[in-house]
Amino acid sequence: PQVNISHGNQRVSAVLPTGESVEVMLYGATVVSWKDSDGNEKLWLSEATKLDGSKPIRGGIPLVFPVFGPPPANHPTSKLPQHGLARTSRWEFLGKSTSESEAAEADLSVKLDFGLSAATLDEAARALWPYTFGLIYSVTLTRDSLTTSLVVTNDDNKPFDVQVLLHTYFRIPDINKIQITGLEGAEYIDKVDNRKIKTQETPAVTITSETDRVYTPKGGADAPIAIVDQSSGRPLYKLSRDNLGDVVVWNPWAEKAVSMPDFGPDDGYRNMVCVEAGAVRGWQTLEPGDAFEGAQTITLA
Ligand code: BG6
C-alpha cells in the first residue's frame, strides 16, 4: 500500500497506508483536518465556518501573512485585512515533494507543497500589498506528527516587512482540563487587558476566561511548548518551532464565541485552544533576494 493523495478542485488530501490523514483546502492552504490512524481528529474546525472561499476558514491551521492582527496605520500592510492575504487567497498545489528520508521511502510520511506568489494572487489582493513575493508552504504528515513550514522569498527589487503565524486550532477534550507548558517566565502582551506587557509567573497557563496573548518565550524558538492534561501532566500535543520565536495563545471563551457568526457550536470554545507559532512581535525585513523560513512540528504524545 502507498500514500494515497487526492487532489480535487477545492482540496488536497493524503492518507498514509497506516491510516493517518491530512486535508488541506486550496483556499488559504488551510489545513482543515488531521487524523490519527484511529480516525481521531486533532484539529478543531468550526461547524459554522464557510469553506467556499467567501470568508477565512474558522479552524484548522489558517496561515497568517504578511501581517498579524489588524494592520497598523501608516505601514505598507495598512490596507490589508486582519491577518493578511494568505488565508483568503487560492493557492496552487505544487505536488508531493520527493524526499529521500527513510520514512518517505517507506511510505510512512508524505510532504505536500503549496505555492502562492504575486503572480498568482488575484488583482484585488495585489493592490492591497504591491510586492513581488513568493510563498512555499509545505505540510508534512508522519505517523505521529504534522509539520507545516513556510518559506517567504522577496522577489522584488525593494525590501519589505512581513509577519508570519501558523494559527493552529487544537482540538482538546475540555478547556478546563488542559494547560499549556513551556511559557514560564515569558513576557507577553495581554490583548484582553489593553495590551499590557506581563510576565508569565506560573509554570503552566490555564484558561478560564477570554484569553488573547502574544508570548515571547525565553529561549525563543527553541523553547518546547506542550498542551498537557492538567491532572496527569501527560502531554496531548507537543509543539516545536523553527525560527518562529513568538507564541500566541487564544481562546474566545463563551461570550465572544457566540458573537462570532462563523464560530460553532456556541460552546465549541471548550474543545479548542489556539496555540500559534509565529514571528509577530516586530517585523522580518526581507531584502531583495532574501528568504525567511519558519516552521512548526506538532507531535502527538
Ligand atoms: C488570534 C488573535 O491570533 O486570532 C486574536 O490574537 C484574534 O486577537 C484571533 O481574535 C482570531 O482572528 P480572526 O481574524 O480569525 O477572527
212 lines ligand 1 (CB under 6 A): yes
Which pLDDT score, from 0 to 100, does residue 131 have?
A: 98
16 alpha carbon – ligand 1 mean position (Å): 32
β partners of residue 92: 115
Percent over 90 (pLDDT), the chain: 95
Whether 100 shows a pLDDT value over 90: the answer reads: no
Atom of ligand 1 nearest to the CA of 64: 3
Provide the domain count of the chain: 1
Atom of ligand 1 nearest to the CA of 256: 10
87 lines ligand 1 (CB under 6 A): no
21 alpha carbon – ligand 1 mean position (Å): 27
Q: Is residue 192 very low, low, confident or very high in pLDDT (cuts 50, 70, 90)? A: very high
42 lines ligand 1 (CB under 6 A): no
Q: How confident is the model over 42-92, as pLDDT tens digits?
A: 999 999 999 999 999 999 999 999 999 999 999 999 999 999 999 999 999
83 lines ligand 1 (CB under 6 A): yes
Which pLDDT score, from 0 to 100, does residue 275 have?
A: 98
ipTM higher than 0.95?
Answer: yes
191 lines ligand 1 (CB under 6 A): yes
Tell me if 273 sits within 8 A of 207, measured CB to CB.
Answer: yes
Which pLDDT score, from 0 to 100, does residue 39 have?
A: 98
Q: Is residue 181 very low, low, confident or very high in pLDDT (cuts 50, 70, 90)? A: very high
Q: Which of 20, 23, 83, 276 is catalytic?
A: 276
Grid cell in block for residue 204: 503552566
Whether 102 shows a pLDDT value over 90: the answer reads: no
Which pLDDT score, from 0 to 100, does residue 101 have?
A: 85
Stretch 144-161: mean pLDDT: 98
Q: Is residue 98 very low, low, confident or very high in pLDDT (cuts 50, 70, 90)? A: confident
Distance of CA 219 to the CA centre of its chain: 20
Distance of CA 14 to the CA centre of its chain: 19
- Minimum mean pLDDT range among 99-113, 171-185, 197-211, 251-265: 99-113
Question: From atom 1 of ligand 1, which residue's Cα is the shortest distance away?
Answer: 250
Pocket test of ligand 1: the residue of 83, 88, 207, 249 to mutate, having most ligand atoms within 8 Å of its CB, is: 83
Q: Report the b/e string of 30-46 with b at 16+ CB within 10 A.
A: bbbbbbeeeeeebbbbb
Atom of ligand 1 nearest to the CA of 165: 3
64 alpha carbon – ligand 1 mean position (Å): 10
Stretch 155-183: mean pLDDT: 98
Q: Report the b/e string of 204-229 with b at 16+ CB within 10 A.
A: bbebeebbbbbbbbeeebebebbbbb
Q: Using alpha carbons only, what angle is made at residue 123 by residues 48 and 31, rounded to the nearest 5 degrees?
A: 35
167 lines ligand 1 (CB under 6 A): yes
Instruction: Provide CB contacts within 8 A for 233, sequence distance 6+.
Output: none
CATH number of the domain encompassing residue 211? 2.70.98.10
Atom of ligand 1 nearest to the CA of 213: 6
End-to-end Cα separation, the chain, in angstroms: 26
Give phi and psi for 175, each to the nearest 5: -60, -30
Which pLDDT score, from 0 to 100, does residue 285 have?
A: 98
Range of the domain at 33: 4-300
Quick one: three-class SS letters along 215-265?
EECCCHHHCCEEEEECCCCCEEEEEEEECCCEEEEEECHHHHHHHCCCCCC
Instruction: Kindly report the average pLDDT of the chain as a whole number.
Output: 97
- Please choose, from the candidates 91, 93, 146, 141, the residue with its C-alpha nearest in 3D space to the C-alpha of residue 119: 91
